[in-house]
Chain A
Amino acid sequence: MQSKNQQINALIELNDELENYFRNTIIPQLFVDANLILRKFTPPAMKQFKLHHQDIGKSITEIKDNFRFPTIIENIEHVIKTGELLEKEIQTIDMRWYQMNILPYLVQKEDKNNGVIITFVDITLRIRDLKEQEKLIMEHELLLDTISHDIKTPLTSLTLTIEMLKKTPEKGMIKFPALLEKIENGLHKIKGIVTDLTDSRKTDQHYKSVEELLDIEQVLEDVRLTLAPQILESKASIRWYITYSEILFVRRKLRSVLYNLISNSIKYRDKQRNPEIIIKTFTEDDFFVISVADNGRGINKEDTDKIFTKYERISHDVEGTGVGLHLVREIVNLSGGKIVVDSTPGNGTTFKIYLKNHQ
């Protein structure tokens, strides 16, 4: 009797361990038995494939559409039949990529497959990164080819002209001015290529930017995460009231604008109180306006122009480079917008960013 109880306890313990394992697995995982009945799944699997607790005990064929991957049943049957592990990258019909592993579930006593464990690792981002990398490499190769091709043309005329110049004394000097002109042309072309390259690096490559329809709350959330340590340390409260949430802008640039403004609100806080930052959006004429208001130390009237000047710093008790607000103004002005400051020393500052509303 005693030993039976012990056996039951041992089984309960094992079951608990298994349950625990499944509950705490961070990747989508399913257990399907030899009769294709779904026996268990992890919470991420539930979320990823929209499974419900009622689905346990159902045949996987009934819920196969949830996996958005047509051949899953065939793959499971194959593993059950052969006992061989199946590993492959799959793309589901909703265009996500997974590394799918189907492992046979071995029952040692009977030495037979009693089903499969299926694991899905989401590799969509990795695949996207790889594709992006591939594209960059291609562009890079193409750029190098173009540059060398473009430079070789003036180099050819330069080489030939100089060699010809060496021969002119024996061949007569009539062509001398024309040859010099060719040398000047060659140099001019090479200079042009170099200018093109440095200019295009400044504008396209380094600041390569694509406008997209942004959800301002998402961007703010990004900024909040980036500033998390400063927010925690300063006990700052940041709230936003977003009435207009969509704006067509370059994500990296808008993030940079908001990051600099919010980061400044925290940096130049009034030491007497915890920083409170309130962000609002509204429209005014043709502009989409974002206001960032704080209860910081404020800016004196005579200093409001200086704050946007590169390397200019008003307060020296706070770390800074004098670049942040300069960058903010550059970004906003270049996009056809403007920036307005309203500040009361000792009370706080409000920055209003006016962005052209293209919608």
Chain B
Amino acid sequence: MAKIFVLEDDRDIREVVEWILVYEDYEVVSFENVNDFMSRDIRELPDLFILDVMLPDGSGLEVCNQLRSESLQDHIPIIIMSAHASLEQVSTGCKADAFIQKPFELDFFLNKIRTSIHS
């Protein structure tokens, strides 16, 4: 069972995403801010990170860069989701495997996750 870490501050999105992923037989751990995410057990490695950009105590792009700089997890795929108008602007901020723009369709979301995990 693939494990996914989700970092999203909006409670509704976080919970629905979690339910969806659990239905799809993923194991999910969610975090609601950068601080929570950073204090997670660093030895536990997921198969995928899903990060929101605008967070109350920081940016998902910074988190993404930090993950990329740590050798232990620099190979783990990252999906960035953002409500920003310009995806290009967001995508220059870090080397993620996929960027998805909010709002997105469920199937599109699940497809991105599948391709990211299996590539």
Give the interface of A toward B (CB within 8 A).
Answer: 145, 148-149, 152-161, 163-164, 167, 171, 175, 178-179, 182, 185-186
Residue in B23, B84, B103 whose CB lies within 8 Å of A156:
B103
> When chains A and B are docked, how far (Å) is the Cα of A163 from the Cα of B84?
23
Contacts of A152 in B (CB 8 A): 83, 102-103
| Complex alpha-carbon distance, A178 and B22, angstroms | 15
The answer to whether A182 and B15 touch (CB under 8 A), given A148-B83, A149-B54, A152-B83, is yes
Closest to A171 in B: B23
Whether A160 contacts B106 in the complex (CB less than 8 A), given A145-B85, A182-B15, comes out as: yes
14 contacting pairs across A/B (C-beta < 8 A): A149-B54, A152-B103, A154-B12, A155-B102, A156-B83, A156-B103, A157-B10, A157-B12, A157-B16, A163-B106, A164-B16, A164-B19, A175-B19, A182-B12
Write the nearest CB–CB distance from B23 to chain A, whole angstroms. Answer: 5
Complex: how many Å from CA A152 to CA B12?
12
Contact of B85 with A148 in the complex, beta carbons under 8 Å: yes
Please tell me the number of chain B residues within 8 Å of chain A, measured between CB atoms. Answer: 20
Contact A164 B102 (CB under 8 A): no
Can you add 4 more A-B contacts, CB < 8 Å, to A152-B83, A157-B13? Answer: A153-B13, A155-B103, A160-B13, A160-B106
**Contact residues in B for A148 (Cβ distance below 8 Å):** 83, 85
Residues of A near B85 (CB, < 8 A) are 145, 148-149
Q: Is the CB of A161 within 8 A of B16?
A: yes
* B84→A160 contact, CB < 8 A: no
Contact (Cβ within 8 A) A149 B103: no
Which residue of A145, A160, A164, A182 has the most chain B CB atoms within 10 A of its CB atom? A160
